[in-house]
Amino acid sequence: MSCGDEGGNNDPYNHGGGKIDDGFFCGVLRIDVDQNPARSHPIRRQPLGATPPPGWPATYAQHYFIPNDNPWLAPGGSVLEEFYAVAFRNPHRMTYDPISSRIWLCDVGQSGREEVDVIEKGGNYGWSFAQGSVGGPRGRPVPLLGVEKPPVFDYAHINGYTCVIGGYVYRGKEFAAYLSGRYLFGDNGTARIRALTYDGTGSPQVMELTTIPHGGGETTGMSTFDLDRNNEVLMCSAGPGVKIYKLIKVGASNQPPALLSQTGAFTNLTTLEPAPGLIPYTVNAPLWSDAAVKTRWMTVPNDGAPYNRVETVGCTNAGPWSFPVGTVFVKHFELPTDDTNPAV
C-alpha cells in the first residue's frame, strides 16, 4: 500500500523525511493479511490518532501481521513496523511487474517536479527534503532513515506537464514488438502517455506515445490506468466527460517507409538537400562509430490537428529532454572508401 503526506503545501504536518513513529504517512507499507506466524508477527505499535468513534474497534491497525523481513523492526514497539519504504509526497499510483519483480510508483510533486520511482526495501525517496532531483521545502534529516533513492525519471512543470499518473509495465501481445517491458505512465495536465525503458542501472529512455482527450471541467486530463483480461492497457480521463480509452494500432503499418525517397525527408538524395522544416544539428560529444562521418537533422511537428497544443521541446539542465509526438530525427552515416585517401 502507498500513502501520502496528509495534504497541504510543503508538508505542513511534517510527515516527510522518514518519520515512522507517528501515523501512516509518506510511505509504502507491507503487511501480511494471512497472519502467518511462520513469516510474520503481531502488530507491536499502533498509529497515533484521535480516539475512535463510539462503536468502533479500540485500535486502528488490526487483522494483519508484520512481515519478519520488513526493514524497520522494533520489538519494543518504538516504530510502526509496517513501513517498507519512506518519504513520498502523493503516490499516484503504484503497480507491481511480476516479470521483472519491480514495484513502480509515480509520486506527484509539489510545484516543481514529477517523479517515477522503483521501490526498494528500506529506501528513502526524498520528500520533503527533496522533490524529484531538486531540493525540497524542508531540511535533510540527520540521521537519514533508510537508503536515499533518487527517482528513475523526473520532469519539470513545463509545457503543460503538472501531475504524473502511474501506470503499468506493458506485458500484452498487441504491441509486444514496440512496448514489451516498457513502463507506461501519463500526466494529468497534458493527458499525454509516455513509455519508459529502464535497465536498472543507466539513464532511462522515455518515448512519447499518444494523448488522450480531456474530460472537461476543472480536473481534466489523464487520471488512471488499468489492464484488460489480455494485459492490454486501458486509460481513463478525468472530468464530466470521463471515458475509458484503449491503445490501438492506427493505419495499416507502424513501420517507416522502405525507401529513403518515400520518407520525404530530402528533396535531393544525391546532395542530401533536406526538405523544408528539417533542421541540421550536431551534438557536443558524438560517439565514435567505426570512423563514420555523421550528419544529423530533426523537425518538430506544428501542423494543427490532431495536435491540439503548441509543439515545443521540453529541456532541463539535468535529465532527458522531452519531444512532442511526431518529432522526426534523421542521422546519416558515411564511411570512406579509401582510408589512405580522404578525398575518395
pLDDT of residue 36: 98
Cβ atoms of residues 221 and 337 within 8 Å: no
Distance separating alpha carbons of residues 37 and 211, to the nearest angstrom: 48
The pLDDT of residue 145 is above 90: yes
Interval 68-119: pLDDT, tens: 999 999 999 999 999 999 999 999 999 999 999 999 999 999 988 999 999 9
Interval 159-199: pLDDT, tens: 889 999 999 999 999 998 889 999 999 999 888 999 999 98
Overall average pLDDT of the 322-334 stretch: 87
Q: Where are the domains of the chain?
A: 256-344
pLDDT of residue 171: 95
Q: Which of 12, 171, 13 has the alpha carbon at shortest distance from 100? A: 171
What does residue 232 show for φ and ψ, rounded to 5 degrees?
-85, 150
Distance separating alpha carbons of residues 222 and 192, to the nearest angstrom: 7
Distance separating alpha carbons of residues 82 and 71, to the nearest angstrom: 9
Cβ atoms of residues 166 and 188 within 8 Å: no
Distance separating alpha carbons of residues 45 and 36, to the nearest angstrom: 18
Q: 8-12, 47-51, 261-265, 303-307: which range is least confident on average? A: 303-307
pLDDT of residue 319: 81
Residue-by-residue DSSP string for 221-264: SEEEEEE-TTS-EEEEE-STT--EEE----SS--SPPSSGGGTT
Sheet of 147-148, strands arranged across: 2-3, 27-29, 83-86, 123-124, 147-148
Interval 240-299: pLDDT, tens: 778 899 988 776 555 677 788 888 889 898 888 998 889 999 999 889 988 888 999 999
Distance separating alpha carbons of residues 81 and 45, to the nearest angstrom: 8
What does residue 261 show for φ and ψ, rounded to 5 degrees?
-65, -25
Question: How many CB atoms sit inside 10 A of residue 18's CB?
Answer: 24
Residue 165: its H or E element: strand 164-165
Q: 10-19, 98-107, 215-224: which range is least confident on average? A: 215-224
What is the model's pTM? 0.73
The pLDDT of residue 37 is above 90: yes
Mean pLDDT of the chain: 89
Cβ atoms of residues 51 and 60 within 8 Å: no
